[in-house]
Amino acid sequence: MELDRPLGHAIDEAARRVLPGGVNSATRQVGAPYAFTAADGAYVSDADGHRYLDYHAAFGAVLLGHNHPAVRQAVLTALDGVDLMGLGVTPIEVELAELACELIPSAEMMITTMSGSEATVQAVRLARAVTGRSLLVKFQGCYHGWGDALARNVISKPESAYGRDPLSAGLLDSAVDATLIAEFNDLDSVRALFESHPEQIAAVFLEPIPHNVGALVPTQEFVEGLRELTRQQGALLVFDEVITGFRHALGGYQQVCGVQPDLTAFGKAMANGFPTAGLAGPRELMERFAADVLLAGTFNGHPVAAHAAIATMRHLRDNPDFYLRTHRLGQRLRDGLGEITAELDVDATVSGFGGVFVLYFGTGPVSGYRDLMRNDHAAYAAFHRRMTGKGFLMLPMALKRNHVSGAHTDADIDLTLEAARDVLKEMRADGLI
C-alpha cells in the first residue's frame, strides 16, 4: 500500500523547478520516498515522518551508521580548528595519509580527492603517464565514476552489453573507444585484448567485487591471474575499491584476497558519509603527481572530511569485531533469503559478500555479467520498492545492492526477513514472480 507523502510530493515539485530532474545525482530520482529530513543509526525518516530501516546507506557510504558519535565529535572538533586554507598542508591531511598508508596493503603514498570519480580520473591520467600508453580495460558491469574514460558499459541491455554502450551524451568518441570491455571472472577475455592491442594498454581497472551490479564475487584464480597478466604485459592493475574499501575489510578487498594492485582508488565508506576519497599506490608511481601529472582541487584534503575519515578509520581499526559482526549479519540475511526463496519456490539467486546482500531474480550461478542478463529487472525493482513500502529502504533500481551498517542489529535482520517473506508472497500472488 502506498504511504501518504504530501510534504515529500511538495518538496519534489519544488526541487524540479530549480534542479534538473529534482535531484543532484541522476540515480536519486526513483520516486517515493521523495525527501529525507532525519537520519540516526540504522534508520532514516522522510519529510512526512515515515521511518525506514536503511539498507541503501547512501550507496554504501554510511558504514558505521548515520550520525555515528565518534564521527560527529570529530567533525565538531574540526570546526574549532583550521578551516579551508588552499595553500600548504594541514597536520590533519598528513595524519589521514599516514593512516591510509598504514591500513591499505599496497599504499605507500596517497592523494586525497573529494569523490571516488575524481580518484579514478586521477588513476587514468597517472596510468597513461607512467606507461606512455593510451588504452584502458574495464569489465562489463563495473562502474568507475563519471569520468569520460571509463563511463561506459555498466548495466547494459543485452543488445548493448560488451558493445559500445556509453553512459552519457557528450562523451568524445575517442574517449569511449579508448576503453576496451572484458568479462568479469574470465581471464581469457582480458588476455585476448592484450593480444589484439599489443603494448597499447595502460591499465586494467577492476571493481574487485562489482557491487554496481549487485555482487559478483571473483575467483581467487581470476584476481591472481590479472595481477600476473598485467605485470607480464607492462600495464598497471587498478583496484577501484571505492565500495569494497573499508567496507569488507580494514585494508579493502586486496587484504581479503592477498593480491596487491599498482593503484587503489577508495572513498565512500572511509569517512562514513562525509565527502572525501583517495588514490594510493607505491611511492615511485605516486610521486609523478609532484612532477608532471596534474593534481589540483581546492577542496582536496578538506579538514572537516579529513577529521571524519580519520575517526571512521580509527574506529574500524580499534574495533576488529566490527567486521565479524557485519559479516555475520550479512550472512544471516543471505541465508535467510535463500531459505525463504526455496520455501516459496521462487526462481531467485542470493549473492553478496560481508555486509552486502543481493537477491537476483533468476537461476544461478552468477559469476559474470552474462549471467546477470537472466535477471528479471522488473521483479528486482519491485521487490526493493515493496520492501521500502514496508519500511525497509532499498534502492528500487535493477541490480542495486543492499548494505548492513554497524548500527544494524539481529532484531533488525529478523524484521527484514519477515517482511521479505511477506513481499515475495505478495509478488507471487500478483503474478510478478
- Rounded CA gap, 130 and 201, in Å? 12
Sheet-wide strand order for 263-266: 109-113, 277-281, 263-266, 236-241, 201-206, 135-139, 179-182
CA max distance for the chain: 64
Give Cβ neighbours of residue 400 (< 8 Å, ≥ 6 apart). 214, 384, 394
Q: Specify the residue for cell string 525493482.
A: 381
Q: Which three cell numbers stand for residue 78?
A: 574540526
Indicate the burial class of 321 (C-beta count within 10 angstroms; 0-12, 13-18, 19 or more): exposed
Catalytic residues: 143, 240, 268
Q: Which three cell numbers stand for residue 129?
A: 603517464
- Residue 270 has a CB neighbour count (10 Å cut-off) of 32
Question: 263 with 123: CB under 8 angstroms?
Answer: yes
